[in-house]
Amino acid sequence: MPIHPDAEYARQTEAEWQRLRAEASGLPYPWAPAYRDLIEAAYAEPKLRSLYPFTSVWTLRFSTTTRPKLNPTGPCLTTSGYGMYGVGTGFLTPNLGLFATPHEAVNLAVCHLSPEPGPATD
């Protein structure tokens, strides 16, 4: 019996989340704990977890499609590594806000998602 495409996209999305979580937990950089906390806070949010995560220059972004053709959606999440977490509409620009906790940043990011952003598809 073939796997339904939606199930395959969900599997790919979850696999990418797990890869990012593992990568973030093993980084040797001083800012790595803050980055890991941001990844974990985003993963804990069901609306973000249903989207395909990807990073670019340590910025956490989301896509409504899986690789290779990413379709970015919603804001970007960043961390300075020094206790501040940013939310922005542009790449590396926290123009929507800076927060002391990753959960505050994630909550704002969810508010800026389209009403039905996920789950990820091909």
pLDDT of residue 82: 75
And the tokens for 68? 């290779």
Q: Determine if the pTM surpasses 0.75.
A: yes
SS3 112: coil
Segments of the chain scoring below 70 in pLDDT = 1-5, 91, 116-122
Using CB atoms within 10 Å of the CB of residue 100, give its burial: 0 to 12 exposed, 13 to 18 middle, 19+ buried. exposed
pLDDT of residue 70: 92
pLDDT of residue 24: 92
And the tokens for 99? 């927060």
